[in-house]
Structure 1
Amino acid sequence: MIKVIVVDDERFVRMGIVGETDWASLGCEVVGEAENGSDALELVHEKNPDLMICDIRMPKMNGLEMLKKLREEKNPVQVIFLTAYSEFSYAREALKLYAFDYLLKPFEDGELENAILRAKERIETDRGKQRDTGLSRSVLDKAPVKEQYPGALEGDGPEINAAVIRLCLPFDENTAGLTGYVRDAVLYMASHYGESTINVAKIAGAVGISEGHLSHCFKKETGYTVMGWLTRYRMKKAVELLSDHRNKVYEVAEKVGYKDIAYFSNTFKKIAGVAPSEIQEK
């Protein structure tokens, strides 16, 4: 079982996360709660959890300050940060500290559970690598980010880091583990995301299933709605295109399936926490 602690200064938020999540089905158990970063630090030392679900803004010591201390101690605990604020400064600092994910409150249905499952997979994978190689999990966590985004961990790296956090780290389009119609739907969207007319009806028709059944199965397996997944995939592709400053924002919008540049920009900022024009200005 994966040991989890929940940290938030709002008691009802903690109660909701602890009480409304089916921890057993996720292969996890909650071993403690804390209401601020200072108490959380002590709890980590006492319980040695694998995963922490933690608010960022808290009294005494905020989540980022607390995680910084843990990283200085070489503690490899995986952290899913929660915040009601889509702020680039938070997201960037979270990446520097190798947080696993960064979720905006309120969550969509299944979003937290999906993040927990992916964190659990990372934890179990790292345990296996530790047994095989003796490498510490903290070192292993750095490699994928630094290989994919060489400037991401530098203090003066490009502002695209915000989009890396919000899109590339928490979002996984890998079809491994997906079944039947859901896998086919993912593959279809990955091939047709640039078409502005794509919708649930068209995707369902392409894979040979009703809209309702596809929507139900897709949400159950991925934690996303069909169109929610497509939007995330489009935004991730937009990040890749925007990293080449020769691409104009309106060109990127068209390439990922948006005819309305204003709608594209609003959607991008909502998900990434930074406007596409801000990336292009850097």
Structure 2
Amino acid sequence: MLRVLIVEDEEIIRRGLLCTIDWAGMGCIVVGDAPDGRTGLELLRTEHPDVVLTDIRMPRMDGIEMAECARAEGILPKLVFLTSYAEFGYAKKAVRLQAADYLLKPVDEAELSALMQRLIAAGTGGRMGITEGIDWRRYFEDETLNPYVRHAMERIQHDYREKLSIELLAEEAGVSASYLSRKFKEAAGQTFLEMLTRERLQNAIAQLSSGKYRVYEVAEENGFGDYKNFCTVFKKYMKCSPRTFLQQTRGTAPQQGEE
């Protein structure tokens, strides 16, 4: 089941989404709702949803600020912005914040269902999940976390741009690579390389979405080494090339040299 969080300040709309939508029929479950971005951010930290449906303009903290804070903390899930016709142009810009899509209010259930199915399909296909923000706080606040695994995770979080390997970190910790690899998988539910790739891709996508970097620059700055390797890894997990991603994000053809 896809875990969904709803953040919407208009109570009528929020209650309508909660009470009139057949979430279970879509393969989803609502794990919480909030009337503003600040409360929404707190729920993101505790509920770890797969998707957040959020209004853009809200009191105390708007949807974009909430998303930016969640991204900084490494807990940003898939984003779906809820918007009115008056905010349509603003919503198109907001999609650049790695949003999966945006829906016009009042939300059409058929359109919502189709979007959820696309997200579910993307998840099973490998695109959703690999680029979700890693919840570092959840790991580091666990007092039972293996100290060698903790060291490896800290290196990923802070040094993902460097050449890292399970063998190198095992040597740093004074344990065998097979031991560290096994303990890492037990604690994280994924391999060291998978988590390292997630961290690199998450930051690479943020840079590509900003429109300030060329593909080769993103490759170099996020530890992928050469341009060709970055394109191979990107296409494997994102199911499209960096060039296609740039087209989808900007809504324009890429400039020369951005392939």
**TM-score, with structure 1 as normaliser:** 0.48
Give the match for residue 38 of structure 1: 38
Q: Distance in 2 between matches of 1:31 and 1:149?
A: 30
CA distance in 1, matches of 2:22, 2:244: 34
2:74 is matched with 74
Secondary structure of the residue that 1:150 maps to in structure 2? Answer: helix
Unaligned runs of 5+ in 2: 131-189, 206-233
How far did residue 26 of structure 1 move? 1.6
Q: CA deviation at 1:128?
A: 8.2
In structure 1, what is the Cα distance between the partners aligned to 2:240 and 2:67?
20
Distance apart, 1:146 and its partner CA:
3.9
Aligned residue type for 1:47: E
Aligned residues: 159
Matched, 1:115 2:115: yes
Q: Is the 8 A contact 2:126 2:238 kept in 1?
A: no
**Contact map agreement 2:56 2:64 (CA 8 A) in 1:** yes
1:8 and 1:35 in contact (8 A); partners too? yes
Instruction: For residue 106 of structure 1, give the secondary structure of its aligned residue in structure 2.
Output: coil
Letter in 2 for 1:150: L
Map of 1:16 onto structure 2? 16
The alpha-carbon deviation at position 44 of structure 1 amounts to: 0.3
Q: Percent identity?
A: 35
Question: Is 2:250 the counterpart of 1:150?
Answer: no
Deviation at 1:64, TM superposition (A): 1.0
Deviation at 1:103, TM superposition (A): 1.1
Structure 2 Cα separation of the partners of residues 62 and 128 of structure 1: 24
Measured at CA, do residues 128 and 113 of structure 1 come closer, stay the same or move farther in structure 2, by a change above 3 Å?
Answer: closer
- Partner amino acid, structure 2, of 1:20: T
Please state if 1:103 is matched with 2:103.
yes
Q: Deviations over 1:54-96 (max 9, x none)?
A: 1111111111111111122232401111001354652343232
Q: Structure 2 CA distance, aligned partners of 1:21 and 1:103? A: 15
Instruction: Give CA deviations for 1:180-222 in whole Å, capped at 9, x if unaligned.
Output: xxxxxxxxxxxxxxxxxxxxxxxxxxxxxxxxxxxxxxxxxxx
Shift of 1:48: 0.7
Letter in structure 1 aligned against 2:246: P
CA deviation string 1:86-118 (max 9, x = no partner): 546523432321000111112345111111221
Take 2:16 and 2:75, find their aligned partners in 1: how far apart are those partners?
A: 27
Counterpart residue number, 1:259: none
> Does the aligned pair in 2 maintain the 1:6–1:14 contact within 8 Å?
yes
